[in-house]
Chain A
Amino acid sequence: MLQSWSARYLDGVSAHAVAVTLTPAAHGLDIRRADGGVVVWPYADISQTQGHYPGEQVRLERGVELLVVDDTAILSQLHKVAPRVSRRFHDPKWRVHRPALVAGALVAAIALGAGIYFWAIPAVAVFVAEQIPVAWEEELGRVVTDTLTDSKSTCQDQAVTRAVDDIVARLAAGVSDNPYTFRVSVIQKDVVNAFAAPGGHMVVFSGLLRRTDRPEELAGVLAHEMSHVLRRHGTKALFRDVSTSIFLSAIIGDAGGAMGVVLESAKTLGNLHYSRQAENEADTEGRRMLIAARIDPAGLVSFFEKLEKKDLKIDKDFLKYLSSHPLTEERIARLKPQPGAARVTYAPLPMAAIWKTLATACDPEEPD
């Protein structure tokens, strides 16, 4: 006995619906009008466009014509009477599995998303950043430094420039296969900070220079920044940041704004992690560079110690310098020579005698 369902037929031309009776049969869908006329739709011509979710009517289309059925049981009947062609129709019996499917999808999406986010993207970004030519890095770095190092705020003091260039040259001489041309600009601004742009252009603020007591301390900071350049930390961070942003925006586009905020803060936390890792690497590498150049690495340590003392007083400038950096205490512990290590004799830097003058030569005329 074949079952029948009442449905509404729309011809796709008029908005007037006609009541019909549908009977799913093996050869196709029988459509009987109230006046007794029968039309058969072969299953291969029919597509189901609605009725996959609870509360939806079943909508069957053939070209512009369509049938609307309220009762989803017609779908189950289709699967019963025409099992070979019924794959094109939704089967309501699958609906009970949906909660499990959604739960599984949620777990899989989080696991996979985290895997891509924390492992795959950083790995690919680092790989790509290591492949790009130095000339491209220089171009990248110029974008950052051009706006900062305009001639107005750059310190033009000849003695300082010569001293800084001399230290950089000594440090660079100890690096084998160095593809970078290191350059330093001292910016007249009372900020305790220094940074390295991709490609080798470094910026030291006069506030940092003024707080150094010996040339070895500045050499320590420069060695640290040069290590950032050599290890391509900036370039890697940029690639990582851009690719995670693209990945996040692809997901957020679907997930809505508030979830975006959560994912964005995950990104910030991730960045801080990578940043601390890079700082540790630059500390270790910088120390090695100082030793290779026969410059006393104690300068780097004593500068950090000075910063830490100020840290206790919660100096605003200093907090700025430290955000996204490891704890100063930790860094000092790591940088101090291990007990029992071979004693190395260091050549004192020649500009030590006039350092007091050099350190303050670039101070801004009016402190802001």
Chain B
Amino acid sequence: MSTPKPSVSPSGVQYASFRGSGGTLFGISIVNLLLIVVTLGIYSFWGKAKVRRYLYSQTEFSGDRFAYHGTGKELFIGALKAFGLIIVFYAVFFAITRFVSLGVAIAFIYVGIAAVIPLALYGSMRYAMSRTSWRGIRFSFRGALGECYKQFLGGVLLTVITLGVYAPFFHVKMRTYWMNNTYFGNTPFGYAGRGKDLVWHFLLAVLLTIPTLYLYWLWYAARQARYDWTRTRFAAARFGCTFTGGGLLWLAVSNLLLLIVTLGFAFPWVLIRNIRYTLEHTGLHGPVAWDKVVADARAPKVGATGEGLADALDVGVAF
């Protein structure tokens, strides 16, 4: 077991650190597995909440742990509502195939998915932030749903029209939307990126896809993460990131080997290695006057339907 890095480096950069162990997480997952089998899957929502609670509780920043406030019950209800929505969706699809035509029904599927993805992303982001706290103060996401639709659908359209060249601009626009509307207490995060800073690297990655057998995308991902975090700020501080392509490649290869050798049973250790890599390479530069940060009563009340929808569609917001 590697010892966690100290949370403040000599240079004054503050890092979060993960204090949990793969063994404990393995134990939690196995007990979850038993209960999931006994309940024919229903328990998985409570199990998911339990795992998240553990992961958040073991993540420390500046001497204090994060906390996850979600419950299995709300995840279950969220999933049921999302399931209901999907059932209605299918019913309409089959009704159209029967009474109109298959072509119209397929068009309906495309339009329907396009209409639902922004809602799912928005809902899961709002849920994730509203259930996270540090030092007793909640995070929150306060973006407008209409803006999410505009940015997402506009970005997809432009990316398709430009045969993918617009993708880094789209990425920057979405991250701007996510970050600028995310708050810790009353204090917003901020992101100021420009797509044109990434676009040449992006095109290079496209060119190198085949010669490097897709591996160059890890270097692009590392570059994009470094770019993004350097331009992300909180109060007077900004973030920094030291991801490298080689680091990501080693992480992916070693994780894969671990999983193969253990027939998949190493999954908790793999998860923790990913978390550790991310936390150890993402730091907060500069001091923050934490005393100035206060909880904000305007933080929206959020249910877990969007989370359930995002889960069903297998989409999510990743930083």
Q: A interface vs B, CB < 8 Å?
A: 8, 10-17, 49-50, 53-57, 59, 64-66, 68, 98-99, 101-102, 105-106, 108-109, 112-113, 116, 246-247, 250-251, 253-262
| Contact, CB under 8 Å: A12 / B264 | no
What separation, in Å, do the CA atoms of A50 and B58 have in the docked complex? 9
| Contact, CB under 8 Å: B48 / A109 | no
A254 partner residues in chain B, CB cutoff 8 A: 29, 32-33, 36, 44, 47-48, 51
What separation, in Å, do the CA atoms of A257 and B260 have in the docked complex? 11
B58 partner residues in chain A, CB cutoff 8 A: 53, 55-56
Of the A-B pairs whose beta carbons lie under 8 Å apart in the complex, a sample of 13, sorted by A's number, is: A10-B137, A15-B293, A55-B58, A56-B57, A59-B65, A105-B33, A105-B34, A108-B34, A109-B37, A250-B41, A250-B44, A254-B36, A257-B264
Q: Which 8 A-B pairs have the closest CB atoms?
A: A250-B41, A259-B264, A258-B264, A256-B267, A10-B136, A258-B259, A109-B34, A102-B27
What separation, in Å, do the CA atoms of A68 and B28 have in the docked complex? 23
Residue of B nearest to A104 (CB): B34
Chain A nearest CB from B82 CB (Å) reads: 14
| Contact, CB under 8 Å: B24 / A54 | yes
Q: B interface vs A, CB < 8 Å?
A: 19-21, 24, 26-34, 36-38, 40-41, 44, 47-48, 51, 53-54, 57-58, 64-65, 67, 69, 134-137, 185, 259-260, 263-265, 267, 270-271, 290-291, 293-295
| Contact, CB under 8 Å: B264 / A255 | yes
| Contact, CB under 8 Å: B65 / A251 | no
| Contact, CB under 8 Å: A98 / B27 | yes
| Contact, CB under 8 Å: A102 / B30 | yes
A98 partner residues in chain B, CB cutoff 8 A: 27
What separation, in Å, do the CA atoms of A115 and B291 have in the docked complex? 57
Residue of A nearest to B56 (CB): A50
B44 partner residues in chain A, CB cutoff 8 A: 250, 253-254
What separation, in Å, do the CA atoms of A77 and B150 have in the docked complex? 56
Chain A nearest CB from B303 CB (Å) reads: 20
Residue of A nearest to B66 (CB): A50
Chain B nearest CB from A356 CB (Å) reads: 43
A109 partner residues in chain B, CB cutoff 8 A: 30, 33-34, 37
B48 partner residues in chain A, CB cutoff 8 A: 254
**Given A56-B19, A250-B40, A258-B259, 16 more pairs with CB closer than 8 A:** A10-B135, A11-B136, A13-B137, A13-B294, A14-B137, A49-B53, A53-B57, A54-B21, A55-B24, A59-B65, A98-B27, A99-B27, A109-B33, A250-B41, A257-B267, A262-B263
Q: A101, A106, A112, A258: which contacts B38 (Cβ < 8 A)?
A: A112
Chain B nearest CB from A108 CB (Å) reads: 5
Residue of B nearest to A109 (CB): B34
Residue of A nearest to B69 (CB): A49
| Contact, CB under 8 Å: A247 / B41 | yes
B65 partner residues in chain A, CB cutoff 8 A: 50, 56-57, 59, 68
Known: A15-B185, A250-B41, A258-B267. A105 touches B20 (CB 8 A): no
Chain A nearest CB from B130 CB (Å) reads: 14
| Contact, CB under 8 Å: A255 / B29 | yes
